[in-house]
């Protein structure tokens, strides 16, 4: 049945995150990738990258997010981006922004990159630089953003919300407005990579996440800035609860960079390719669904037992399994796995009690 649904197009990759390298010039304490100051010899080659792009283009037209580490560490980054663009794939770049000068910004534009996300972990240098591990990285990131905007490349800010910057969320929102970026995406910390070491100190309690996400939704109703909560699937429950309170109807954007489809898309609308060619449901869920050195992208996407499992919400356990918002949320599968070792367990950072559950 699932395979038939795949052929019918219900499960298509909307976003593919591709970690081109672990190499990075920063030392962020919450890094998913445990980034390194040098590149790994096992990285996929340029030729392998082109083959993977051909495979993607043969069956889907996702947004391809080139990430790292720092993707600008790869000397062939613009070849890869240009090649994907030539195949009709929408290409975005996820960067820390510090390496982007005028020359790099021009190359980003020429490669057809349609948006660059730059990570900001505070509203000021003290907070951001402390988290990023390198003095001057905040100012360098803003300079990089400005260079891109000068070339007409849209810029998005990504912010991972933790205890260290929770009091700056409103200021980060204002900074995004002041810098005239097109989008602000808030990420909830997922304890993988370096994030494991800081989870106890930096993870917000569930009720505080609920409060932040509620505030974020209120801002979304009155601003022209595209704002999105990522790795926070219960945001989609909150959206519907608040809309219902007002008697409003939500009409989510279902395509493009601003798509607001459902909560956790791991393995259903999203996948992640590591720098070694391993495929995961998302970058924060370290379970291997396939390997592109042995399989094609389409084969992994359509036939991976792990992906098939994630596409069946009836398998979810705990309160996620009985929640009336299961089809718009599903809970974060990565946090469930990190907390319990079970990818189908209930989301551990959600305070909502489903109707009919005593508790």
Question: Per-residue pLDDT tens for 90-142?
Answer: 999 999 999 999 999 999 999 999 999 999 999 999 999 988 878 999 999 99
The answer to whether the pTM exceeds 0.85 is yes
Question: Per-residue pLDDT tens for 161-204?
Answer: 988 899 999 999 999 999 999 999 999 888 765 445 445 677 88
Within its chain, how far is the Cα of 207 from the centroid?
A: 22
For residue 3, is pLDDT > 50? no
Query: Which of the 8 DSSP states describes residue 248?
Result: -
Which bin fits 260, alpha (ψ -120 to 50), beta or left (φ > 0)? Answer: beta
For residue 252, is pLDDT > 70? no
For residue 321, is pLDDT > 70? yes
Instruction: Compute CA distances 38 → 46, 73, 110, 160, whole Å.
Output: 18, 9, 26, 24
Quickly count: other Cβ atoms within 10 Å of residue 275's Cβ.
Answer: 21
The answer for residues whose C-beta is within 8 angstroms of residue 125's C-beta and 6 or more apart is: 136, 138, 139
Tokens of 252: 């989510």
Structure confidence at residue 26 as a pLDDT band (50, 70, 90): low
pLDDT top residue among 8 and 290: 290
Size of the chain in residues: 359
**Mean pLDDT (whole number) for 75-85:** 97
Question: Per-residue pLDDT tens for 194-239?
Answer: 445 445 677 888 899 899 999 999 998 899 999 999 889 989 999 8
For CA atoms 243, 249, 252, 258, give the dihedral sign.
negative
Quickly count: other Cβ atoms within 10 Å of residue 136's Cβ.
Answer: 12
Percent of the chain that is helix, strand, coil (3-state, to 5): 40, 15, 45
| Separation CA 25–CA 133 (nearest Å) | 10
DSSP code per residue over 194-220: THHHHHHHHPPPHHHHHHHHHHHHHHH
Structure confidence at residue 2 as a pLDDT band (50, 70, 90): very low
| Separation CA 318–CA 313 (nearest Å) | 12
Percent of the chain whose predicted confidence (pLDDT) is above 70: 86
Judged by average pLDDT, the poorest of 56-60, 74-78, 100-104, 243-247 is 243-247
Range with the largest mean pLDDT of 22-31, 158-167, 272-281: 272-281
């Amino acid at each position: 049945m699932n395979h038939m649904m795949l052929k019918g197009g219900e499960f298509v990759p909307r976003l593919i995150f591709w970690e081109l390298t672990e190499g990075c010039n920063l030392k962020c304490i919450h890094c998913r990738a445990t980034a390194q100051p040098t590149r790994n010899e096992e990285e996929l080659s340029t030729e392998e990258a082109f083959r993977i792009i051909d495979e993607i283009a043969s069956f889907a037209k996702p947004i391809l997010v080139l990430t790292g580490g720092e993707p600008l560490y790869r000397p062939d980054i613009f070849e890869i981006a240009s090649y994907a663009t030539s195949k009709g794939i929408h290409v975005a770049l996820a960067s820390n922004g510090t390496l982007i000068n005028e020359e790099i910004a021009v190359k980003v534009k020429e490669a057809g990159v349609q948006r660059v996300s730059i990570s900001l972990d505070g509203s000021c240098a003290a907070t951001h630089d402390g988290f990023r591990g390198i003095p001057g990285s905040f100012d360098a990131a803003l300079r990089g953003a400005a260079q891109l905007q000068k070339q007409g490349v849209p810029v998005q800010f990504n912010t991972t919300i933790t205890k260290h910057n929770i009091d700056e969320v409103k200021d980060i929102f204002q900074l995004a407005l002041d810098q005239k970026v097109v989008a602000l995406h808030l990420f909830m910390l997922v304890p993988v990579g370096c994030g494991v070491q800081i989870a106890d100190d930096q993870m917000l309690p569930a009720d505080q996440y609920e409060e932040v996400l509620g505030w974020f939704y209120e801002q979304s109703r009155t601003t022209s800035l595209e704002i999105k909560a990522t790795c926070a699937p219960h945001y989609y429950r909150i959206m519907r609860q608040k809309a219902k309170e007002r008697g409003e109807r939500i009409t989510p954007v279902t395509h493009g960079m601003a798509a607001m489809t459902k909560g956790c898309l791991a393995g259903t609308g999203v996948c992640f390719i590591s720098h070694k060619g391993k495929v995961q449901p998302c970058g924060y869920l370290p379970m291997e669904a396939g390997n592109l050195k042995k399989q094609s992208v389409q084969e992994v996407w359509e036939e991976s037992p792990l992906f098939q499992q994630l596409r069946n919400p009836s398998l979810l356990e705990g309160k996620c399994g009985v929640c009336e918002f299961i089809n718009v949320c599903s809970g974060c599968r990565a946090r469930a796995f990190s907390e319990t070792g079970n990818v189908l367990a209930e989301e551990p950072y959600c305070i909502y009690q489903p109707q009919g559950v005593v508790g």
